[in-house]
Structure 1
Amino acid sequence: MRLRSADPATPPRLDYGYLSTAGDRRRLREAVRVTAELVAPAGFGKVSAGLTERGAATLDDDRRLDR
């Protein structure tokens, strides 16, 4: 947390450090992959149109998924 101004009415800048470590990025990749598996079955058709844009090729490649 950092102050952005001497004015007490100005909210501070919050930097949570999300995705700042390799472990953070690994866990997020895992979450994205598990979510893709969960919504893939046809039973989720009402709430999910399936993968968009980059598709399965991106899910299989850590670097592409990170981008």
Structure 2
Amino acid sequence: MTFDPEGLSRTQCEGDACVACHKKWPRPRIRIGRLPDNRALFACPECADALLPESQTNVHPFPRRVAFF
């Protein structure tokens, strides 16, 4: 997904803040898209769940919070 940098803060464009909610800590780690110059944009887990498109198949990934014992 390509985002328009208009309206994004410098920290969001640098990947140091969530692209949706501006949260800086913990640093967002889920790659959600990119800018037109191919810099990566990141989101926190809560915002990533809302921004990522729904799966169109009958195979669904595990939630990010699943732990294996």
Q: Which has the larger radius of gyration?
A: 1
Q: What's the TM-score bracket when you normalise by the shorter of the two chains?
A: under 0.3
TM (norm. structure 1) is 0.22
More helix by share: 1
Structure showing greater relative contact order (alpha-carbon pairs closer than 8 Å, 6 or more residues apart) = 2
